[in-house]
């Protein structure tokens, strides 16, 4: 039981490049989330998926897109990376019967 896994662990991009961050959970959770974490700003919600087949914008969605590929997988895409997207990205999942979110180990992204 791996919980929530994220790939890659670390990535360096040049401005304008695109990439997809992958997230998978093996806990049969309905809801999945993408956050970014910047120093002094806590966790900010980018997008979430309350259940398979649905996605919704969070607090900071601009510059990102998401895909809920199936119940297990939720990917985050940066179409044209900008230095302001340098951050640590966390994926999380939650079952329908609890408010507890379980987090992956994070992806550190540096955009030059």
Binding site for another protein (CB under 8 A): 4, 31, 40-45, 48, 50, 58, 90, 92, 94, 99-106
Q: Which of 91, 107, 77, 112 is nearest to 24 (CA)?
A: 91
Smallest distance from the beta carbon of 94 to another protein, in angstroms?
8
In the complex with another protein, which residue's Cβ is closer, 74 or 90? 90
Least distance in Å: CB of 106 to another protein? 5
Q: Nearer Cβ to another protein, position 9 or 14? A: 9
Select 41 or 82, whichever has its Cβ closest to another protein: 41
Are 94 and 101 in contact by the 8 Å Cβ rule? The answer is yes
If you count DSSP H runs as helices and E runs as strands, how many of each does the chain have, helices first?
0, 11
Which residues does residue 45 pair with via DSSP β-bridges, in sequence order?
35
Nearer to another protein, 28 or 100 (CB): 100
User: How far is 13 from 112, CA to CA, in rounded Å?
Assistant: 6
CB 107 within 8 A of CB 87: no
- Minimum CB separation of residue 16 from another protein in Å reads 28
């Amino acid at each position: 039981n791996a919980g929530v896994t994220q790939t890659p662990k670390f990535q360096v991009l040049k401005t304008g490049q695109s990439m997809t961050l992958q997230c998978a959970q093996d806990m049969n959770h309905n809801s999945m989330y993408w956050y970014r974490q910047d120093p002094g700003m806590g966790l900010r919600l980018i997008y979430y998926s309350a259940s398979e087949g649905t996605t919704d914008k969070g607090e900071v969605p601009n510059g990102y897109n998401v895909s809920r590929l199936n119940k297990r997988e939720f990917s985050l895409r940066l179409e044209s990376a900008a230095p302001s997207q340098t951050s640590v990205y966390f994926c999380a999942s939650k079952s329908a019967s609890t408010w507890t979110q379980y987090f992956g180990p994070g992806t550190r992204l540096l955009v030059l």
